[in-house]
């Protein structure tokens, strides 16, 4: 038979073991959250935007990726024809839409050009008409020619240090 003193000691040991377990769990949760929040996302040059028109779909890689202030080599601009009555659907990945980004739409009439600024988690998809209403009645409908998405991304420089990159995805929408 255990004495009241031994029973209190056992209860105290059980309480301390439970307290230590809770502290370890809380510490592990804090460390895991800290790691999750500070992990580096995909490299800027690896982020793609999906563009769809009707049944056609392409992955658009960045046209420009460079550190601000440095010479920026230009990449390839893919082409996905968008008819005047079509709608271009852009699927924006989380690596872009989780912070501020902008969309530039260039038409064959410069007066119809448009720019949209988006905030974090503002949208994951954008629909862009293949043509818009003319500014002057009787003029032809301005046709979509180029779409560009711009976003600041974080990547690693040549020394393995995190650094900002100006990143632009460009898509031609003109028929060949």
pLDDT band at residue 103 using 50, 70 and 90 as cut-offs: very high
Predicted TM-score (pTM) of this structure: 0.77
Rounded (10°) CA dihedral 102, 107, 112, 116: -10
pLDDT digits 0-9 by tens, 122-154: 999 999 999 998 878 888 999 999 999 999 998
Q: What is the DSSP string of the chain?
A: ---HHHHHHHHHHHHHHHHHHHHHHHHHHHHHHHHHHH-----GGG--EEEEETTEEEEE-EEEEE-TTS--------B----TT-EEEEE--HHHHTS-EEEEEEESSGGG-EEEEE-TTS-SEEEEESB---SSTTSPPPBEEEEEEEEEEEEE-TTS-EEEEEEEEEEE-S--
Average of per-residue pLDDT values in the chain? 91
Calculate what percentage of the chain has a pLDDT beyond 70. 97
| Domain spans of the chain, in order of start | 1-39, 44-172
pLDDT score of 170: 97
CB 132 within 8 A of CB 84: no
Give CA torsion, residues 146, 147, 151, 156, to 10 deg: -60
pLDDT at 176: 64
The two tokens of residue 109 are 């009439």
pLDDT at 39: 67
Whether the predicted pLDDT of 106 surpasses 80? yes
Place of tokens 């503002």: 122
Residue 70 above 80 pLDDT?
yes
């Amino acid at each position: 038979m255990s004495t009241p003193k031994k029973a209190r000691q056992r209860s105290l040991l059980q309480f301390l073991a439970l307290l230590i377990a809770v502290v370890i769990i809380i510490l592990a949760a804090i460390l895991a959250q800290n790691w999750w929040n500070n992990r580096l996302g995909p490299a800027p040059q690896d982020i793609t935007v999906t563009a769809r028109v009707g049944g056609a779909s392409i992955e658009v890689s960045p046209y420009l990726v460079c550190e601000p202030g440095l010479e920026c080599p230009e990449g390839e601009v893919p082409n996905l024809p968008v008819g005047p009555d079509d709608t271009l659907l852009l699927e924006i990945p989380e690596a872009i839409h989780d912070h501020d980004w902008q969309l530039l739409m260039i038409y064959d009439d410069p007066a119809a050009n448009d720019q949209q600024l988006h905030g974090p988690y503002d949208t994951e998809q954008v629909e862009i008409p293949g043509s818009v209403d003319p500014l002057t009645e009787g003029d032809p409908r301005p046709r979509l020619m180029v779409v560009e998405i711009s976003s600041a991304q974080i990547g690693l420089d040549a020394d393995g240090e995190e650094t900002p990159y100006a990143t632009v995805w460009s898509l031609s929408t003109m028929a060949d």
